[in-house]
């Protein structure tokens, strides 16, 4: 057989006839690896010929991959249709955020409804897993566990006469495959392990959940190809110093990709917050200056959050500007607009702004609440007790409408807020200043 060498990118899978320092497709550096292929078919040498033939889609039975419940109603709603047989799910999150706890609860839920779940851990021993399951009160006859760092053990579980309905691999960076070189966690190993497990679960109908480590930038470690290989990508986020956790969908082939579920960490594990609308407010004192309530929308859910601001005289040559829960650059932009359009002299003040409750949001509708909180602290006057804000501020000081306006308005009415400040109620920052403080 005549063969040739080609170079494949470990990040995006693009091919190149010759080696280059930079991938021509994804522009990553030093990601091209040589593989030997057949000149005629360009298939990797040693790959078995496929016996599958194309089939008409209309002849396929629609009930071949009917989803089943996960045992957790909120997770079913998040995924769109529960757990789909043969689906591959990738779960990422910071260390210690609660990924293993959540998946152990999911495995126990599957066992309680009569399904078999196997928890394969490459990070913990079986006694450690049992101790955690006992603490969470999750032990049951259908909950199986395996401690291993070899992908062959996971494949053996899938090749058994009665493969499990759910296989959890915690984590993919700790599993090694003999089909690839390098240490566990390397790009080649992560790609090989994931490819073998995903291919096998597609054939057996087992739902696969892979746990992925994250980098210091918050991205899931390993090749970007990993996120393309799976059907669903979930991300568990939150501050370990707070009890709240948010499970977010980043990609979903079987349902919506903009949903989320709010959890709170309890002694028995993660507990779903059924109505998160006011969960992040806590014990709010509306009589203090520098606080404003905003209705933020994340996914399809409106949240009432408190935005706090502190404007104090600075004794530094360069005043401090600090933001927690949203982008500091956005705070600087809003301050520049306030100085330009309302003639507020903020150059001699330290300004701090944060979203309380440990929530982080990129919703542009928070702009109006941030501006209102800053003005309240600057004038040292509290805002109306039941006031609520949402709207985006442009560079001309205009208040622009934001997405999900009707959803926010309905939620504000349900919670009994008044006055309600948005783009139609106060079109400019001058109008906002007049409504709140009676100043021109």
b/e sequence 268-294, b meaning 16+ C-beta within 10 Å: ebbeebeebbebbeeebeeeebbbbbb
Annotated binding residue 365: no
- Which H or E run includes 421? strand 420-421
Cis check: omega of the bond before 419, within 30 degrees of 0? yes
The sign one gets for the Cα dihedral 14, 20, 24, 26 is positive
> CA triplet 98, 101, 103: central angle to 5 degrees?
110
* Cα–Cα distance measured from residue 250 to residue 186, given in angstroms and rounded to the nearest whole number: 23
Annotated binding residue 98: yes
Annotated binding residue 134: no
SS3 string, 82-106, reads CECCCCEEEEEECCCCCHHHHHHHH
Annotated binding residue 227: no
Annotated binding residue 357: no
Q: Name, in order, each residue with C-beta under 8 angstroms of 169's C-beta and a sequence gap of 6 or more.
A: 120, 122, 154, 175, 197, 208, 209, 210, 211
Annotated binding residue 385: no
The sign one gets for the Cα dihedral 22, 196, 102, 249 is positive
Tally of residues, the chain: 440
The sign one gets for the Cα dihedral 260, 262, 265, 269 is negative
Annotated binding residue 96: yes
Annotated binding residue 95: yes
Residue ranges at the known binding site for ATP: 93-100
Residue ranges at the known binding site: 93-100
């Amino acid at each position: 057989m005549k063969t040739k060498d080609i170079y494949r990118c470990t990040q995006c899978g693009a091919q190149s006839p010759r080696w280059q320092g930079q991938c021509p497709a994804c522009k990553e550096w030093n990601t091209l690896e040589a593989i030997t292929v057949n000149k005629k078919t360009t298939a990797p040498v040693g790959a078995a010929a496929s016996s599958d033939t194309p089939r008409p889609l209309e002849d396929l039975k629609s009930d071949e991959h009917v989803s089943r419940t996960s045992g957790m109603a909120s997770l079913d709603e998040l995924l769109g249709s529960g757990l789909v047989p043969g689906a591959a799910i990738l779960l990422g999150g910071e260390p210690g955020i609660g990924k293993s706890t959540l998946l152990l609860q999911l495995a126990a839920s599957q066992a309680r409804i009569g399904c078999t779940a196997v928890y394969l851990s490459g990070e913990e021993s079986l006694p450690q897993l049992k101790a955690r399951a006992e603490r969470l009160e999750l032990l049951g006859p259908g909950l199986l566990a395996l401690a291993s760092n070899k992908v062959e053990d996971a494949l053996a579980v899938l090749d058994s006469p009665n493969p499990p309905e759910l296989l959890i691999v915690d984590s993919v960076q700790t599993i090694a495959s003999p089909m690839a070189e390098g240490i566990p966690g390397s790009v080649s190993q992560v790609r090989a392990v994931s490819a073998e497990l995903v291919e096998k679960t597609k054939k057996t109908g087992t739902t696969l959940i892979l746990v992925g480590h994250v980098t210091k930038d918050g991205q899931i470690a390993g090749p970007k190809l990993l996120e393309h290989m799976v059907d669903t990508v979930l991300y568990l986020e939150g501050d370990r110093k707070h009890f709240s956790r948010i499970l977010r969908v980043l990609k979903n082939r079987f349902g919506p990709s903009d949903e989320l579920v709010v959890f709170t960490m309890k002694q028995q594990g993660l507990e779903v917050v059924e109505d998160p609308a006011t969960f992040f407010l806590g014990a709010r004192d509306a009589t203090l200056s520098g606080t404003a309530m905003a209705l933020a929308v994340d996914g399809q859910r409106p949240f009432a959050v408190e935005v706090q601001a502190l404007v104090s005289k600075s004794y530094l040559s360069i005043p401090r500007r600090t933001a927690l829960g949203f982008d500091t650059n956005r705070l600087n932009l809003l301050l520049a607009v306030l100085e330009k359009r309302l003639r507020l002299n903020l150059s001699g003040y330290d300004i701090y702004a944060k979203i309380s409750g440990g929530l982080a949001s990129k919703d542009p509708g928070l702009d109006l609440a941030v501006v209102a909180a800053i003005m309240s602290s600057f004038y040292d006057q509290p805002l109306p007790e039941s006031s609520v804000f949402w709207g985006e501020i442009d560079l001309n000081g205009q208040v622009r409408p934001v997405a999900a306006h009707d959803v926010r308005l309905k939620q504000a009415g349900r919670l009994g807020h008044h006055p309600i400040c948005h783009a139609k109620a106060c079109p400019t920052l001058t109008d906002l200043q007049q409504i709140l403080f009676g100043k021109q």
